Homo-oligomer: A and B are copies of this chain.
């Protein structure tokens, strides 16, 4: 049996998740792991999993001829250089989202991938979620006719650490980018125009970094459909992840996942447990499936289900949303380059 030999770059939380998921796959073999902070702890962790090479230097992975593909799980600012290097080294790439926070850089990275002829999958894990996949199947299968309205609710259970807010890229590039991808995934169409409204209602620390903690974005799609996404950095009742596609023949909607179906009826009312709280628990199966499919596509030379263009389009929508906030008006995707230029001049 042919195996895909993998190097993991970045062994933080998400790097470790991918590692454990890959280890279940008989067709995947993890050869090496690199992390800036590699030390005895990571070595023990790697040894338990039979991973031979542990290094602080990602170049050791990129230069290793026995590695077929890499997983880029390091911080966002490293994504573009690593993609370029990996592409030049002829390695296939799985990269966490976003590829970068600068459209130009993302375009450069994709160009490098194209020229090298390697494959690139981006970590939009939610496409592999059992609920959203099922909604998309109904849309694709024609159950609801032509899509008219796409609605996405996405609220985190807790705001990120203040240190992270500084470097996150802001609510649109860091958080809502998943929903921009979901909007394209569900509608089967590209976004043409974006209008964003936002506020700081949870914690003033967001304002200190020029960020928002609550936002509603409306979208106009090429196929004529309209969309709306609402984000909050803090839903005290858990991770709120719902979608709805409404169309000419009906609607398909996905509700939250709960840890159990138990329902208690007392003199106070009817109560059930909150939705799943933690994103790794909520999207556990989706993380497993995205790596399975990545390996399967490499082995069988099939097209990847989420590629560099998907990353680029979502980043463009995120940029349009940022510009819309700055300009207090709707922004066409086709205008973002020009508007960015103007805006940077005026600053």
Using A269-B271, A272-B270 as known contacts, say yes or no to A226 and B249 having CB atoms under 8 A apart: no
B232 near A148 with CB under 8 A, answer yes
Q: Digit string of A227-248 for contact with B (CB within 8 Å is 1, else 0)?
A: 1101010111110100000101
Q: Is A131 an interface residue (CB 8 A)?
A: yes
Q: Is A130 an interface residue (CB 8 A)?
A: yes
Q: Is A116 an interface residue (CB 8 A)?
A: no
The residues of B that contact A263 with a CB separation of less than 8 Å are 252-255
The residues of B that contact A216 with a CB separation of less than 8 Å are 149, 218, 226-228
**Interface size range on A against B:** 35 or more
Using A246-B232, A248-B202 as known contacts, say yes or no to A265 and B274 having CB atoms under 8 A apart: yes
The residues of B that contact A226 with a CB separation of less than 8 Å are 197-199, 214-216, 230
Contact of A254 among B153, B199, B235, B261 (CB under 8 A): B261
Chain B, Cβ-Cβ closest to A136:
B262
Q: Digit string of A250-270 for contact with B (CB within 8 Å is 1, else 0)?
A: 111111110111111111111
| Distance, CA A219 to CA B284, complexed state (A) | 35
Q: Is A64 an interface residue (CB 8 A)?
A: no
B261 near A257 with CB under 8 A, answer yes
| Distance, CA A278 to CA B153, complexed state (A) | 28
| Distance, CA A205 to CA B54, complexed state (A) | 62
Chain B, Cβ-Cβ closest to A327:
B329
Q: Is A143 an interface residue (CB 8 A)?
A: yes
A214 near B254 with CB under 8 A, answer no
The residues of B that contact A155 with a CB separation of less than 8 Å are 246
A135 near B330 with CB under 8 A, answer no
| Distance, CA A346 to CA B167, complexed state (A) | 47
| Distance, CA A252 to CA B240, complexed state (A) | 13
Q: Digit string of A294-336 for contact with B (CB within 8 Å is 1, else 0)?
A: 0000000000000000000000000000000000111000000
Q: Is A108 an interface residue (CB 8 A)?
A: no
B214 near A195 with CB under 8 A, answer no
A271 near B271 with CB under 8 A, answer yes
B237 near A251 with CB under 8 A, answer yes
Name the 3 nearest CB pairs between A and B, nearest first: A250-B266, A237-B265, A134-B262
Chain A contacts to B: CB under 8 angstroms: 26, 48, 130-131, 133-135, 138, 143-144, 146, 148-149, 151, 153, 155, 193, 195, 197-199, 201-202, 214-216, 218, 220, 224-228, 230, 232, 234-238, 240, 246, 248-257, 259-275, 328-330
